[in-house]
A and B are shown apart, each in its own frame.
Chain A
Amino acid sequence: MTADGDRAVAARAAAGDAAAFAVLVESHAQRLHRWLVATGTAHHDAEDVVQEAFLRAHAAIARYDARWAFSTWLFTIAHRVRLDLAARRRDHAPLDDIHAAPAAPADALPEGGLWSRARGLLPADEFRLLWLHYAEDQAPAAVARILGINPIAARVRLHRARKRLEAALRADPSFTPAEALS
């Protein structure tokens, strides 16, 4: 579904159309889950985050701002839910768990592909940004809104992530420039 189509469906949902909201659930649940898992959230946590994000979106659908795509709004909510979950975990986790870096589930990204390599090369925040822009087709301003950062910072980090990925791929003999970069 296109962003404009999403907006129209979300507008119907905001007007009280439950079927329209069900359409939004159907079209975005898997995408949201995939983003969460690809960026390091465990499968069962990702499901909780997705469900909670949709519950919050449902409760606040009347306040949906149609200037943004519905996916931007939903991903923003999901990102906050994930941060809330991480904060709760930090409050209750032993120190060793706090300092452990979250690992992406092994089966989230196809082995040997660009995304798998990017996940290994880039810091988590840059990978998250890269995914939102290229895999979810979110504009830099929308990415900034989702992650709660400055739009200029989003552009800078996006550029930095691309450069870092490009440099790493060029230096990787198993991944020839001809294959990855023209």
Chain B
Amino acid sequence: MSDLASRLRAEALTVPPTGDPGLAGRIRDRLPAAMPPARPHLRFPLRLAAAAALIAALGLAWLLASAVDVDVDAPPPVVVMPPPPPTLSEMLRDAGSAVPGETVDGELAALGADFAAVARTVRSAVPF
């Protein structure tokens, strides 16, 4: 099998070029005169990196040197009491004030007026 591979490689060298000799020249003629701009290399400025590292090291050293143990009193406990639950009368008052008729009495009066209107309509519709 390796002989087949070597024969394939050897015979590939005997396959003649298929393009005409002017092919490369025609390609070069079509290429733009200027090369495209090269991709800029990512160069991190070494001096800036060294300065940043120095500042960071000095800052860390200062923090470590200035660190002292200080006893701090614990804050007094703050007990937050929940608000007292509303009484029944307060809940009824709130419920009454939540309806559009402002008060329960007003709502009852409006309901009675509606019944009266319905009764009048029914009475006028009856022919006797």
Contact = CB atoms under 8 A, between A and B. Distances in A.
Interface string B21-49: 00110111011111111110000000000
Interface residues of A, number: 51
Interface stretch (A49-57, A81-89, A94-102): A49-57
A179 B24 CA distance: 37
Interface stretch (B10-18, B77-85, B110-118): B10-18
Given A25-B24, A30-B17, A43-B18, A58 B11 contact: no
Interface residues of B, number: 30
Interface stretch (A109-117, A140-148, A149-157): A109-117
B8 A33 contact: no
Contact of B26 (A26, A51, A105): A51
A62 B37 contact: yes
Contact of A55 (B11, B15, B17, B30): B30
Interface of B: 1, 3-5, 7-9, 11-12, 14-19, 23-24, 26-28, 30-39
Interface of A: 13-18, 21-22, 25-26, 29-30, 33-34, 36-38, 43, 46-47, 50-51, 54-55, 58-63, 105, 107-110, 113-115, 118, 130-131, 134-135, 137, 162, 165-166, 169, 180-182
